[in-house]
Amino acid sequence: MLIKSRPPFASEITPREIVESRRDFMRHLAVGSVASAAVIEMAQREAFAQNSTIARLPATANPAYVLSEKKTSYKDATTYNNYYEFGTDKADPAENAGKFKSHPWTVRIEGEVKKPVTLDLDKLLKLAPIEERVYRLRCVEGWSMVIPWLGYSLSHLLKQVELTGDARYVEFTSANDPQQMPGARSRVLQWPYVEALRLDEAMHPLTLLTLGMYGELLPNQNGAPLRLMVPWKYGFKSAKAIVKIRLTKDQPRTSWNVANPAEYGFYSNVNPEVDHPRWSQASERRIGEDGFLSRKRKTLMFNGYSEVAGLYSGMDLKKLF
């Protein structure tokens, strides 16, 4: 019997035409400025078959959103996650979300809009130029990361649907599929995961409809295929795997606020002066950069994004935390 001393090359197990069409396709993806959902689905299948990383998402760096701070490593950003639909341990999402089917995908936009619409990922990817923005993410648990996100301002999407005069809040609903999401079978939160912003917060240019990170489409554990990123608020406001965006007249109920209103307010702006009952908010540990025994960083008001201060003028942010 012949014993092979090396694993077979793809060309030995895959017909030549298929190998070549894959190569053409990968080349096409590399040079294209806008990826389509069909292209992405094929790329993901390809990546899966090759046991490699997922598809690249072409983007242009936005110079307004660069940071001099060191970026968190891809490994840390994709293995230390909060995504309770896949478990409550930081390692659970990377372990359990691998097979989550994030393509094809549609998002429903409804409520106080003149043109309710269901958009598929293809449309979302083409709606506005994809930018890379390096944002800090500050979790209420006292840690932070610096991540190059890919997407565009949520306002581009909201402008498409023509809001009615009664639209004052925007509610974001995450996918809820207990068959695919083991954590969604538990009662740790009320499902689906729901978060919300005031309309002016949602329209602020910083609020990012996020489709990728580190030059690639979002990995499942980080909220594929689309999530929010609101960098001046605690991480839990940034809902993952969004299936519905609803414009409302009244302030929506949100998952963490329902679970524990004393600990999680509606606004949840990063604020070093308002401690969470269990965790000080005055300082933070940067994941990957500092060891557990190292000096912590001071947390900045609005996570350092002072340009949003005007949204809250006249408000008592200690009461409206």
CB nearer to ligand MTE: give 153 or 221.
221
Which region among 2-10, 78-86, 203-211, 277-285 touches ligand MTE (by CB under 6 A)? 78-86
Q: CA 42, CA 196: separation in Å to the nearest integer?
A: 33
Which region among 16-24, 60-68, 83-91, 107-115 touches ligand MTE (by CB under 6 A)? 83-91
Per CB under 6 A, does 83 bind ligand MTE? yes
Give the count of beta carbons closer than 10 Å to the beta carbon of residue 241: 26
One of 136, 240, 244, 285 touching ligand MTE (CB under 6 A): 240
Q: How far apart are CB 239 and ligand MTE at their closest, in Å?
A: 5
- Structure tokens, 18: 């298929």
Q: How far apart are CB 16 and ligand MTE at their closest, in Å?
A: 40
One of 210, 222, 271, 299 touching ligand MTE (CB under 6 A): 222
Amino acid at 287: I
Closest chain position to ligand MTE (CB): 235
Q: CA 292, CA 181: separation in Å to the nearest integer?
A: 31
Beta bridge partners of 217: 212
Per CB under 6 A, does 81 bind ligand MTE? yes
Per CB under 6 A, does 85 bind ligand MTE? yes
Torsion sign over Cα 74, 66, 233, 162: negative
38 φ, ψ (degrees, to nearest 5)? -65, -40
Local structure of residue 106 (DSSP, 8 states): E
CB nearer to ligand MTE: give 42 or 239.
239
Q: With beta carbons less than 8 A apart as the criterion, state whether 225 and 121 touch.
A: yes
